Amino acid sequence: MAELNEERRLATIRADAEAGVPRARRLLALRMLEGRGVEADPATALAWLEADGAAGYGAALRTLSELYAEGRHVPADKEHARACLQAAAAAGDREAKRRLAEED
């Protein structure tokens, strides 16, 4: 039963992501980066995160910050990671705001 619920959830996320819903695109992108339950496709995942970040979606910017900070699927770039985190906070992402407050 849990497997069926996960399949339904993934199908809903995929449909919403393909329709351009930023939250769903981020959720699917996270899975695509690692091939978790879907075929690995880091290039598409990063493209979605970049596009949604450019459109001001804070959670996508925060995710990009994490990827650049860790050098996962992108070259490590601490300055760009910080800029993404600041942009995420400016877009209203509470987790980004919390992380920046912890750094100060």
The CATH number given to whatever domain includes residue 20 is 1.25.40.10
Q: Which residues contact 4 (CB under 8 A, 6 or more apart)?
A: none
Confidence of residue 2 (pLDDT cuts 50, 70, 90): low
Tens of pLDDT along 30-75? 999 999 989 999 999 999 999 999 999 999 999 999 999 999 999 9
Residue ranges with strand state E in 42-88: none
Residue 19 banded pLDDT, cuts 50, 70, 90: very high
Distance separating alpha carbons of residues 49 and 69, to the nearest angstrom: 15
Q: What is the phi/psi pair of residue 21, to 5°?
A: -75, 115
1: confidence class by pLDDT, cuts 50, 70, 90: low
Q: For residue 99, what are the domain limits?
A: 2-103
Q: Are 78 and 69 in contact (CB under 8 A)?
A: yes
pTM of the model: 0.90
Domains identified in the chain, total number: 1
